[in-house]
Structure 1
Amino acid sequence: MTVINAKPYLKTVYEQDYLLWLETTSEQLRTGQLENLDIENLLEEIESMARKEKVALESNLEVLLMHLLKYQYQVNKRTPSWRYTIDEHRSRILKAIKVSPSLKPHLKQVFDECYQEGRRKAAIETGLNIVTFPTESPFNQEQTLNPDFLPE
């Protein structure tokens, strides 16, 4: 692969051909051509990747909490798909934390906020009034992530 040594060219490539920009940047990093890197866009991409990891964790936590609430408050409507969803989103969170342990403090930081969103979504999905669900999570973080925990 031929690496172009012009920063203005790379900024244009970033806007017009993202894959080519990625390949060129990767090659420049691999061959030590650091002076030619499009640092501004590279930093933006790295920061974006970190945000995506956090957003994915939050999204999975919201879904998990919503289904735990549904499972606890709609006993007669429990289905295997609810248990599957609980297991799937728990698994996604645990894998994310295993790969990136620095996500664990973020999970603690956003747990209450995610619970509020999960509570709101549970009310919408079940048709139950939101006041049916406690304003504070009835599940602690350990229970929420415990593969053997189901609210009864």
Structure 2
Amino acid sequence: MTTQLEFERQKLYDTDYLRWIETTVEKLQVRDYSNIDWENLIAEIEDMGRSERRSLESNLVVILLHLLKWQFQPAQRSGSWKGSIVEHRRRIRKALKDSPSLKPYLEEVLVECYADAAEQASAETGLSVETFPQLCMYTSVDVLDSDFLPDCLPDEMIQG
């Protein structure tokens, strides 16, 4: 049975998210645990973890995408590709520093993110997706190494 207090908590969560956060923080600070909207608070904390993982995946795909473009389209190399690699490496390193437990997740999703990056690289370059190796050519160490940029492939390996 839903009480009036539970209804009010849910209403605040649904109608003014920022105020819900401020109210929840205030209640936690004064240890007013009986008036906390626990259901939504737990959901928000769970979502924070999912958000961190999604951010890591997104940054990883961008790095892999630009590494592929760098390697498979050497004549098209640009400062923006290199700048993007640098920026997204920085973001991942910061995330791993703040949350070291993300490191195993990085290893876990590298292959999946590579497949996404290869598909995106195909769309952006006009090269067939088969141009790119099925298996990820880069290690997580390569991906995060500030000095790593892949070598060009011989012309006969690059399909148009």
Give me the TM-score of the superposition, normalised by structure 2: 0.90
Matched residue SS, 2:12: helix
1:151 paired to 2:147: no
> 1: distance between equivalents of 2:16 and 2:67?
43
- Give 5+ residue unaligned stretches, structure 2: 152-160
Q: 2:52 is aligned with what amino acid? A: E
Aligned position for 1:8: 7
- Residues 14-51 of structure 1, C-alpha deviations (whole Å, 9 max, x = no match): 11111111111000000000111100000011111111
Aligned position for 2:54: 55
1:33-44, aligned counterparts within 5 Å?
Answer: 33-44=32-43
Aligned position for 1:139: 138
Matched residue SS, 1:102: helix
- Give 5+ residue unaligned stretches, structure 1: 1-5
Aligned position for 1:3: none
Q: 1:36 is aligned with what amino acid? A: N
Aligned position for 2:66: 67
1:93 paired to 2:92: yes
> 2: distance between equivalents of 1:20 and 1:82?
41
Q: CA RMSD in A?
A: 1.1
1:103-122, aligned counterparts within 5 Å?
Answer: 103-122=102-121
Residues 7 and 37, structure 1, Cα contact 8 Å, conserved in 2: no
> 1: distance between equivalents of 2:139 and 2:20?
44
> 1: distance between equivalents of 2:69 and 2:109?
21
Percent of matched pairs sharing the same residue: 48
Q: 2:150 is aligned with what amino acid? A: P
Matched residue count = 148
1:126 paired to 2:125: yes
- Residues 36-87 of structure 1, C-alpha deviations (whole Å, 9 max, x = no match): 1100000011111111110010011001001000000111110111100111
Q: 1:120 is aligned with what amino acid? A: E
Give me the TM-score of the superposition, normalised by structure 1: 0.94
> 2: distance between equivalents of 1:64 and 1:8?
45
Aligned position for 1:81: 80
Residues 123 and 130, structure 1, Cα contact 8 Å, conserved in 2: yes
Runs of 4+ in structure 1 deviating by more than 2 angstroms, as ranges, are none
